[in-house]
Amino acid sequence: MLDLLVPLHGIGGRGDLPVPLWLAIYSAGAAVAVSFFALAAFWSRPRFETTGGTALAWLTRLVDARPVRWLLKLAGLLALGLLIGAAWFGSDSPAESPAPTWLYVWIWVGIIPLSLLLGPIWRLANPLRTIAGLVRRTSYRRLPERIAYWPAVAGLAGFLWLELVYPGASEPLVVAAFVTVYAVLNVAAGIVYGPAWFGIGDTFEVYAEVLARLSPLGRGADGRLVIRNPLAGLAAMPQRSGIVALLCLLLGSTAFDGISRWSAWTSRTAELNHVVVYTGGLTVAVAIVTALFVLAARTTGTADIRPGAVGGAGLPGAFVHSLVPIAIGYAVAHYFSFAMFQGQEGVLLATDPFGRGWDLLGTSGMRIDYAFLGTGVIAGVQIGAIVLGHVLGVVSAHDRAAGLFRRRQLRQAQYPMLAAMVAFTAGGIALVTAS
């Protein structure tokens, strides 16, 4: 089954929607537009400038207790050890090794619900941070100020290229090599630059932290865990250099993954060099998404902006937090059925992680259950995730605009961003429903 991992990763065509495709696109676009005009009429002041929230003292004491911290660290180390061990020393067949599914489904896709439900928990269990912390130093080299999130962007580009372009991405030894090299580089950087490295350089931790901004569970200014308005946590996301590239890379790569499953794409590229064509396609998809968002943000700036309201990252940085719910909506829509079905394979193959003929979990001989989810449910989740993500994106962008522009210019200033949101919505639905 896992030798088909890469083709399965894109949900691809789903022409059996319960409603016509054109109606789904128009309805979703209309929902985003109506949300915008309703906000413009009744929402004239920013409401998410302060995060606040209700402090959870008991939960803070529990999570910050030394035994719990060490338990999370041990769980992270065990997971990394099993992944690397199964990849290097287990079966070299993608159909028999759990390592590819653990990396591409359990970790990469699983970060989404984990971060949304539990907030910034990834950093507590991050095994790379734990390993680097074992090397005690009295001082660390200072990170260059301009480096910002660019190391994480570079790591994300490499991972997505491996996942979406490289033909042998599901080979256990390829997974082993990637995870090992990635771990060594980040642990070495963590030893040199200290714990601060992982907040800007470890792609998986940075990605988890960005997603956790939309969690109702977060840390207050005093470090205590709080229950908060998720959109307030999102609005407080740092506007550092590289964050626009990170989110546009996520959106563009998801879009390309959908396009690359279209029959029109596969039929026209079958005889061409796979790596070259897919690298070019991924690059173009990311470039289009980036250009559309940056152009919309900068065109929004034709209106008069309140003095001192925009930070050093400019208008794209001011509005970039609105891409987070959109990216989550795209990811849920695109990978939902993949995670539900292929994710089962990670459990089934875990019964014999090293290919020794074991049956540790008693699941030997069992198969993936494809019948527990109907196509109508999958299509509903896909469309619902995209629409909800874009509506939350519109709300977040409007709240930020309310703090940037004067009331008489508020609606007109946002038209470019609204057009981009509608385009993203229609394109997202087309990607997960067309064949």
Q: What is the pLDDT of residues 96-149, one digit of tens each?
A: 999 999 999 999 999 999 999 999 899 999 999 999 999 988 889 998 888 889
The confidence band for 15, taking pLDDT boundaries of 50, 70 and 90, is very low
- Distance in angstroms (rounded) separating the CA atoms of residues 409 and 416: 13
pLDDT at 269 over 50: yes
Q: Which of 291-305, 307-321, 335-349 has the lowest mean pLDDT?
A: 307-321
pLDDT at 303 over 70: no
CB contact at 8 A, 210 and 324 = yes
Averaged pLDDT, 197-205: 96
Q: What is the pLDDT of residue 11?
A: 28
* pLDDT tens digits along 352-364: 999 888 999 988 8
pTM of the model: 0.90
pLDDT at 427 over 60: yes
425 forms beta bridges with none
Query: Concatenated DSSP letters for 315-365?
Result: HHHHHGGGHHHHHHHHHHHHHHHHHHHHHHHHHHHHTSTTSSS--TTS-TT
CB contact at 8 A, 94 and 3 = yes
The total of structural domains in the chain comes to: 1
Quote the mean pLDDT of the chain: 86
Q: What is the pLDDT of residue 6?
A: 42
CA proximity to 349, closest of 101, 169, 103, 5: 101
Within 10 Å of residue 291's Cβ, how many Cβ atoms?
Answer: 12
pLDDT at 306 over 80: no
More confident residue, 23 or 415: 415
Looking at the chain, the number of H-run helices and the number of E-run strands are 20, 3
Residue with tokens 């396009």: 259
CA proximity to 402, closest of 57, 79, 48: 48
The confidence band for 23, taking pLDDT boundaries of 50, 70 and 90, is low
pLDDT at 405 over 60: yes
Token duo for residue 78: 């065990």
pLDDT at 402 over 50: yes
Averaged pLDDT, 371-393: 85
Please write down the HEC assignment for all residues of 100-167: HHHHHHHHCCCHHHHHHHHCCCHHHHCHHHHHHHCCCCCCCCCCCHHHCCHHHHHHHHHHHHHHHCCC
Sort residue 305 into left (φ over 0), alpha (ψ -120 to 50) or beta: beta
Token duo for residue 129: 């941070």
Residue 216 — φ and ψ, nearest 5°? -70, -10
The confidence band for 3, taking pLDDT boundaries of 50, 70 and 90, is very low
More confident residue, 42 or 241: 241
**What is the domain extent for residue 317?**
2-433
Q: What is the pLDDT of residue 223?
A: 82
Burial class (CB in 10 A: 0-12, 13-18, 19+), 57: exposed
Give the best-scoring range by mean pLDDT among 22-26, 261-265, 372-376, 390-394. Answer: 390-394
pLDDT at 16 over 60: no
Q: What is the pLDDT of residue 431?
A: 78
Token duo for residue 108: 């990469």
Residue 55 — φ and ψ, nearest 5°? -65, 140
pLDDT at 7 over 60: no
Q: What is the pLDDT of residue 13?
A: 38
pLDDT at 250 over 50: yes
CA proximity to 130, closest of 213, 54, 187: 187
More confident residue, 52 or 252: 252
Averaged pLDDT, 193-202: 95
Averaged pLDDT, 179-200: 96
CB contact at 8 A, 241 and 152 = no
Q: Which residues contact 70 (CB under 8 A, 6 or more apart)?
A: none
- Distance in angstroms (rounded) separating the CA atoms of residues 435 and 430: 9
Reported as type and span, the H/E element at residue 424 is helix 415-433
Averaged pLDDT, 197-218: 95
